[in-house]
A and B are shown apart, each in its own frame.
Chain A
Amino acid sequence: MLKFVLTKIGMAALVALTVSFISFILLFMAGDPAIAIAGEGASGKVIAAVRSQYGFDRPLLVQYFDWLIRALSGDFGMSFYFKTPVSGMIAERLPVTMTIGFLGMSFALLLAIPMGVLAAAFPNTLIDRLALGIAVVGQAIPSFWFGLVLIVVFSVNLGWVPASGTRQWTGYILPMIVLGYYATPAIMRLTRAGMLEVLSADYIRTARAKGIKPRRVLFKHALRNAIIPVVSLAAVQLGFMFGGSVVVETIFALHGAGYLAWESISRNDLPTMQALILIFAMFYIAFTFLADVLNAWLDPRLRTA
């Protein structure tokens, strides 16, 4: 087991390193960071001054390793754009993204799993069609539009929640729904497919023949096996939510890490971008790892794999 964990961690570090190097190169290819830092109204002289001040005139590899050595000691440097330590900024903004990420995922699971189970229990009925309909709509409508519709209905017309910001806790409700609904279709379909497969298995027939209550068969015996691929998918989705909540954070003016990532890309704020990429990659890896552990607990056969 220890070897298994160590191998996983080693792989994770390698993935994170590769991701950080590729992103570093890509960021430089996206335009001269000196021009981006100097700002839109900067003169040529100013741009040249910035270039030497930030050391952009050094070879790319030198710059990368310089960053890496400092990052490994926990120093992500100063943000080019905000002129404050990157670590402090991320520490301040990550909780917002994590909050809506976990809320959104909880919302998605609470909505998608029961729907998937019911759709599989009553295939080709109205319930099944309704569940699939909700999933199709979820995949079809763009997040920004859905978010704006919710703002118009629940904030502007009904006045139940604020349109943006999190000065009141109710400000989290709409972002949670938008982010969660986006993840719902995939989870629901996978649950339904898994359940359909499991429900036709021999051991379920046996369980039913033994006279176990249908609800118990459905949720204890069948769901436990059907949920395994869902756990892996949810982990990936959650990782995506952390890095990809840009749209939701922009619409609801939440100032989380997702919006910060988008801003640092558009402003060539290398230190911030690099730190965020590293952290998002770590989250992905951590969630995937946790999903493996959870699956091993759910299915003893996976423990030897």
Chain B
Amino acid sequence: MKLTKTAAAAALLPAFLFATNAWAGKSDDTVSIAFAKELEHVDPYFNTAREGILLGNAAWDGLLYRDPATGEYVGNLATSWTWVDSTTLDLTLREGVKFHNGEAFDADDVVYTLNFTVDPKNGAKNKVATGWIKRAEKIDQFKVRIITNGPFPAALEYLAGPVIIHPDEYYKAVGPAGVATKPVGTGPYKFETVEPGKHFVLKRNEDYFAAAKPKAKVGTIDIRTIPDINTQMAELFNGTIDLVWQVPSDQADKMTGRGSFQVINAPTMRVGYLSLDAAGRSGDKNPMTNVKVRQAIYHAINRDGIVEALMKGTTEVIDSACSPSQFGCDTAITTYAYDPAKAKALLTEAGYSDGFEIEFYAYRDRPLAEAMIGMLAEIGIKANLNYMQYAALREKRIKDGAPISFMTWGSNSIADVSAITSEFFTMGGEDDARDKSLSDLLEKADSSIDSAERKTLYAQALSVIADKAYWVPLWNYSTNYVMSGDISFTPTPDELVRFYEIGWK
């Protein structure tokens, strides 16, 4: 009698075909969206969730904006900016902008927001967003200066992404706890209702200044948290939800061609990789310390085969230790074709003609992990799968390392390799290479403000990582969007659902 979820869904789907009823939608200019998880706090500085990034982008503005089509930075709340030196950035602010509560925007808002967030005693959770800022200073009413903790060329990317500006007077008065239920920004949408974690209603900001982002096309965005994917699908059929994303492939396939639903698969910045313990942190007799063994593992994994058989949509194999959509992600490096014979030969050269036994760690995508373990078995490596919670695995990796870890990284949607390559190869807790010269290369690239020089240095670093096979870069991840037939929306590779770009057909 026990049926699996998928079989049950398959058995039930014909019943869906008779579904008829729609409440919200085009007629009342409301797009209903489902979030799959409860957002902890609506203030972008107090959450680290993708859902938070989406709301942050809809209701607030950054000083800059990155055009998703061209990748160029354009002014948003700032109109121009100049690097005074490698740690000092001056920005001229836009005049005449108003917050949703009528408060006028000027330098005080920028200075207050940045200094409040940077101050550790205020407990901001999204430390990645402003961790690079030392302080902000007011030059005059529409000029500010940002001092960084050190040379930080990716500053513009952050100012165009997670760094948003709050109204200082209002924020001082209500604090993060007040913002949790009554947030105020300058963005194309303003909050009408906030039931923390459960329900958000956004209304179009009719007075939006629309310099970088356009005015919102749809009048109301109604967001409800519905954790179960099957329930989300039922709501789609009922017409009570118009748009969901991160839909598993099997569900997305079933929705294709049913009713008038649109199913779109789009790439994301998240990549998967195997990190190999070259530094011997999990034991110095660890075979991973031998470069030939690492190269053998690289040749043993049939990445194309896994992508074709187990991952659908726009997923592609990657060769560099970064996401191809990021600045500096050079792909002209050593590549390793799937070649089990060559892998075996390399193992023999390394002195492991009979193979060996090793611990393999993973925290998600179990079928993919198992497929790779099967491929390792073919060249004589018996890998034992240790499948753990994310927090537990990272703890282990930071504390004592792991011989082989199957990990993924989304770079917080920062389109710059410093958000991934530098994160894992600059002697930090999860640096399995501990390669001083590589670390120095990356540090130098991270602190240069000459983008041509950065590109060259990152290319060198990525080349070292590939030559020494510190990582086995695997693939990027894609996500499925399912939406009702009335909706017009084109997903972008940064997985940022820009609500103001959603329209009606």
Interface residues of A (CB under 8 A from B): 30-33, 35-47, 49, 53, 81-84, 137, 140-142, 144-145, 148-149, 151-153, 155-157, 159, 162-165, 250-253, 255, 259, 263, 268
Chain B 205-224 interface residues, beta-carbon cutoff 8 Å to A? 224
A153→B15 contact, CB < 8 A:
yes
Residues in A with CB closer than 8 Å to B226 are 164-165, 253
> With A145-B3, A152-B234, A255-B225 given, is the CB distance from A81 to B395 under 8 Å?
no
User: How many angstroms from the CA of A145 to the CA of B226 in the assembled complex?
Assistant: 16
* Per-position binary interface string of chain B over residues 427-439, scored 1 when its CB falls under 8 Å from any chain A CB and 0 otherwise: 0111000000000
**Smallest CB separation, B321 vs chain A (Å):** 16
> With A253-B227, A255-B197 given, is the CB distance from A49 to B127 under 8 Å?
yes
Residues in A with CB closer than 8 Å to B180 are 83-84
Contact of B48 among A39, A162, A165 (CB under 8 A): A39
Binds A, one of B38-46, B83-91, B100-108, B249-257: B38-46
Chain B 410-433 interface residues, beta-carbon cutoff 8 Å to A? 410-412, 423, 428-430
Chain B 78-122 interface residues, beta-carbon cutoff 8 Å to A? 120
B398→A157 contact, CB < 8 A:
no
A252→B40 contact, CB < 8 A:
no
B197→A251 contact, CB < 8 A:
no
Contact of A159 among B1, B21, B46, B48 (CB under 8 A): B21
> With A82-B41, A155-B234 given, is the CB distance from A47 to B125 under 8 Å?
no
B231→A251 contact, CB < 8 A:
yes
> With A82-B196, A156-B237 given, is the CB distance from A32 to B1 under 8 Å?
no
> Please, could you name 10 A-B residue pairs with CB atoms under 8 Å apart, sorted by A?
A41-B48, A155-B234, A157-B19, A159-B21, A159-B238, A164-B231, A164-B235, A250-B227, A251-B230, A268-B391
B15→A156 contact, CB < 8 A:
yes
User: How many angstroms from the CA of A274 to the CA of B208 in the assembled complex?
Assistant: 44
B238→A83 contact, CB < 8 A:
no
User: How many angstroms from the CA of A31 to the CA of B393 in the assembled complex?
Assistant: 8
Residues in B with CB closer than 8 Å to A145 are 3, 5, 8
A156→B1 contact, CB < 8 A:
no
User: How many angstroms from the CA of A31 to the CA of B399 in the assembled complex?
Assistant: 12
B392 at the binding interface (Cβ < 8 Å)? yes
Interface residues on B, range: 35 or more
A83→B125 contact, CB < 8 A:
yes
Contact of B127 among A42, A84, A151, A159 (CB under 8 A): A42
> With A144-B5, A156-B16, A253-B224 given, is the CB distance from A82 to B40 under 8 Å?
yes
Chain B 177-211 interface residues, beta-carbon cutoff 8 Å to A? 177, 180, 196-198
B131 at the binding interface (Cβ < 8 Å)? yes
Additional A-B contacts beyond A151-B231, A253-B228 (12; CB < 8 A)? A31-B389, A35-B398, A42-B48, A44-B429, A46-B128, A47-B394, A82-B196, A83-B180, A84-B177, A156-B15, A157-B15, A157-B18
B234→A156 contact, CB < 8 A:
yes
User: How many angstroms from the CA of A141 to the CA of B225 in the assembled complex?
Assistant: 26
> With A32-B391, A157-B18 given, is the CB distance from A41 to B409 under 8 Å?
yes
B123 at the binding interface (Cβ < 8 Å)? yes
B224→A148 contact, CB < 8 A:
no
B228→A44 contact, CB < 8 A:
no
Contact of B12 among A144, A152, A164, A259 (CB under 8 A): A152
* Per-position binary interface string of chain B over residues 228-266, scored 1 when its CB falls under 8 Å from any chain A CB and 0 otherwise: 101100110110100000000000000000000000000
A83→B46 contact, CB < 8 A:
yes
User: How many angstroms from the CA of A83 to the CA of B410 in the assembled complex?
Assistant: 24
B287 at the binding interface (Cβ < 8 Å)? no
Of B3, B177, B197, B237, the most chain A CB neighbours within 10 A belong to: B197
A163→B19 contact, CB < 8 A:
no
User: How many angstroms from the CA of A37 to the CA of B428 in the assembled complex?
Assistant: 19
User: How many angstroms from the CA of A172 to the CA of B173 in the assembled complex?
Assistant: 39
> With A30-B389, A81-B40 given, is the CB distance from A35 to B5 under 8 Å?
no
**Smallest CB separation, A268 vs chain B (Å):** 6
B176 at the binding interface (Cβ < 8 Å)? yes
> With A38-B48, A152-B234 given, is the CB distance from A140 to B2 under 8 Å?
yes
Residues in B with CB closer than 8 Å to A44 are 398, 428-430
Contact of A148 among B8, B46, B177, B409 (CB under 8 A): B8
Residues in A with CB closer than 8 Å to B40 are 81-83
User: How many angstroms from the CA of A55 to the CA of B85 in the assembled complex?
Assistant: 38
User: How many angstroms from the CA of A53 to the CA of B119 in the assembled complex?
Assistant: 12
B128→A42 contact, CB < 8 A:
yes
User: How many angstroms from the CA of A162 to the CA of B394 in the assembled complex?
Assistant: 41
Residues in A with CB closer than 8 Å to B240 are 162-163
A140→B238 contact, CB < 8 A:
no
Residues in A with CB closer than 8 Å to B2 are 140-142
User: How many angstroms from the CA of A183 to the CA of B228 in the assembled complex?
Assistant: 23
* Per-position binary interface string of chain B over residues 1-31, scored 1 when its CB falls under 8 Å from any chain A CB and 0 otherwise: 1110100110010011011110000000000
User: How many angstroms from the CA of A140 to the CA of B3 in the assembled complex?
Assistant: 10
